[in-house]
Amino acid sequence: MNSLESIFYWLTTFLLAGTFFLVLLSLIFNKSKPFSIGRLLIALAFTTITVFGIIRWIRTDHPPFVTLFESMITSIWFVLLTFQVIQIRFKKSAIIILPVSAFSFLLMGWSSSLSADATPLSVTLANVWLFIHASFATAGAASFLIAASFAVLYLLGKDKLASMKHIEKYVPEYKSLMQTILNFQLFGVILWGVMIVSGAIWAHSAWGRYWAWDPIELWSLISWLIYSLLYHSRLAIKIPPKTFSWLTILAVLFIAFSLWGVHYIYDTIHSYG
């Protein structure tokens, strides 16, 4: 990471921390001003992480999701992008700024422990299917994180959400939250499924096989099955909403492990940086 990248990286980190702190103050002391400032800060954070990605792309001559560090940063970018779309299109859901800023800040903290060195593309990696594969992986992770953010709201409870009179125009109806969680879960399952299929196509063109039982391949499939089962268990079995919400949050751990945690335990051909 060069000096210019470092400036925008740490700006994003501090802006996300400031967002979470101000929104938390707003909820604790029932003040709307800190919430408004928090919305401004997270918009600035989206801008700074976008600039970081552009600088990285120009410097490396490839989209920033080849290394583990880049994959995590791009996932955060997709989370912040999705939040911006949500608060513009569905203003009453802007309250998810609290869990979104928290999850994003935690991932920024984790990314600081990873190697930020830029890795040039090898002949094997220089394939359009890699970019499709990585794009759907990071976008899918973002969708699951947004689902978890809405699950946090559900667990806060109807009374707690109703008490937020100072920002009521940013708080969705409690009864709508469960369907929103399901929608983002389904979207994530679709994106993650495309990620697995496109990865298999890429693997075949690069190594002559569609599937090699590599740890990341295996854990990605396990994560997809977990979310598929979770989604259908809510629709078919009608598991209690609060249980479903807790499981939605816990399931994100499998996504994080699949994308960024496997290399801590296993040797994998997916470790590029």
Q: Is residue 34 part of a domain?
A: no
In a domain, 89, yes or no: yes
**Residue 269, pLDDT score:** 65
Residue corresponding to tokens 């994530």: 188
Q: Is residue 104 part of a domain?
A: yes
Residue 6 lies in a domain: no
Total domains in the chain come to: 1
Domain that holds residue 234: 65-112+122-264
Residue 53: its pLDDT value, please? 92
Cβ atoms of residues 134 and 172 within 8 Å: no
Quote the CA–CA distance of 63 and 52 in Å, as a whole number: 12
Q: Give 22's contacts (C-beta < 8 A, 6+ positions apart).
A: 34, 35, 37, 38, 41
Q: Which residue has the tokens 């109703």?
A: 162
In a domain, 90, yes or no: yes
Whether residue 15 is contained in a domain is answered as no
Q: Report the pLDDT value the prediction gives residue 273, as an integer from 0 to 100.
A: 45
Is residue 69 assigned to a domain? yes
User: Which amino acid belongs to residue 190?
Assistant: I
Which stretches in the chain have pLDDT values below 70?
A: 121-126, 206, 268-273
Question: Does residue 232 sit within a domain?
Answer: yes
Q: Which pTM was predicted?
A: 0.91
3-state secondary structure of 164: coil
Name the DSSP letter for residue 127. Answer: S
pLDDT, tens digit (0-9, with 9 covering 90-100), for 131-178: 888 889 999 999 999 999 999 999 999 888 888 888 988 888 898 999
Q: Are 178 and 154 in contact (CB under 8 A)?
A: yes
What pLDDT does 263 receive?
83
Closest to 217 measured CA to CA, from 233, 204, 230, 228: 204
